[in-house]
A = this chain, B = another copy of it.
C-alpha cells in the first residue's frame, strides 16, 4: 500500500489501518440487492477524510497496537457518520457534499432518508458480532446524542434569544460527543485505564467543539468551490451560530432588528449579514473561541509527551480546525 501524496500527515502512522478500515467498510456496504447497488455503491465511494476513524485509531495506538476490533469499530463510526450526513443533507436541503451531488439531490429526500436508516442499521449490524456490549452501548448512546443535538438545533431554529451556552450544548451533542467517544473507544478497546480514557474523551470533546465552531464559520464564509458542500445553509435554515449569537448581544437595537430581518428573508443576503457580523467582531469572537477549544484539545494530549501517536493527533487537530481566512 503506497501513501498517496494527498494523505494528511496525521494519517501516516495509520496508513495500513485506515486502508483496512476502508476495506471493512466497503465489505459492509456491499449491496444486498442488484437493484440497490447504484445507490449503495455511490455512498460507499464517497468516503471522506475519515477523521473520526483516525481519532479512534490514533487514540488506541497511544496504548498499544491496533487490533481487528479497532479497525472494525473505526469503520462502524464512519458508517454512523455517513448516515448522519445523509440525513443532515435532507434536513438542510443541501445539494453538494464532498464535491458531489448529495443523495437527496440525486434521488429525492425520501430515498435519502431510507439510505441513512439503512446505513445506521448496517453500522449496528457490523458492531454486533464483535461481542462487545460495552462498545455497542457507547455507539448507540453516541447516535442517540447526535440526534438529540440535531433535534435541539431544529427546535431552536429562528430563536433569536438562543444563548451561547445553549449553542455550545447543541454542538456538544450533535458533534463533539461523537469525537469524544471515538477517542474514548480507541483507548478503552486498548485496555487503557478509566483515567486515561477520560482524558482522551476530554481531548475529543474539545476537538469536536473547535471543529463545529469552525464548520459553522466555513458555512458562513467559504464558497462551495472551496469546501465541496453547499454554503450558507445555516442562514437559510435560520440556525444561529456563534458569530450571530455574539453579534445579537452586541448590536444596537436597530442593528439587531436588521440582522433578525435579514435572517427571515427568503434568501438571506450573506454579504450584508457578514458585514454586520464583522462590524461587532462576531467572526473574530467565534474564531477566538475555536482557538481556545483547540488549545484545550492539545493540552489534553500533553500527558503523552513525545509519543508519536500524540504527535499525530496534534497534527489531526491542526488539520481539522483550520480557520477560514
Contact = CB atoms under 8 A, between A and B. Distances in A.
A205 interface: no
Given A33-B152, A131-B133, A148-B32, A140 B124 contact: yes
Nearest to A122: B144
A238 to B, nearest CB: 12
Interface of A: 32-33, 35-36, 39, 87, 90-91, 109-111, 113-118, 120-122, 124-125, 127-131, 133, 136-137, 139-141, 143-144, 146-148, 150-152, 154-156
16 contacts: A35-B152, A39-B151, A111-B155, A113-B113, A114-B147, A114-B151, A115-B151, A117-B117, A117-B147, A120-B143, A121-B144, A124-B140, A125-B140, A127-B140, A128-B136, A128-B140
Interface on chain A toward B: helix, strand, loop, or mixed SS? helix
Contacts of A151: 36, 39, 111, 114-115, 118
A137 B117 contact: no
A111 B154 contact: yes
A118 B152 CA distance: 12
A128 B137 contact: yes
Contacts of A113: 87, 90-91, 113
Contacts of A156: 35
A118 B136 CA distance: 16
Given A116-B117, A117-B120, A118-B144, 11 more contacts: A35-B156, A36-B148, A39-B155, A90-B113, A91-B110, A109-B109, A117-B150, A118-B151, A121-B144, A127-B140, A131-B133
Contacts of A120: 117, 120-121, 143
B154 A114 contact: yes
A95 to B, nearest CB: 16
A114 B91 contact: yes
Contacts of A146: 121
A113 B124 CA distance: 19
Most buried by B among A117, A141, A148: A117
A91 B118 CA distance: 15
A39 B124 CA distance: 25
B118 A148 contact: yes
A277 B300 CA distance: 69
A146 B150 CA distance: 24
Contact of A147 (B35, B109, B121): B121
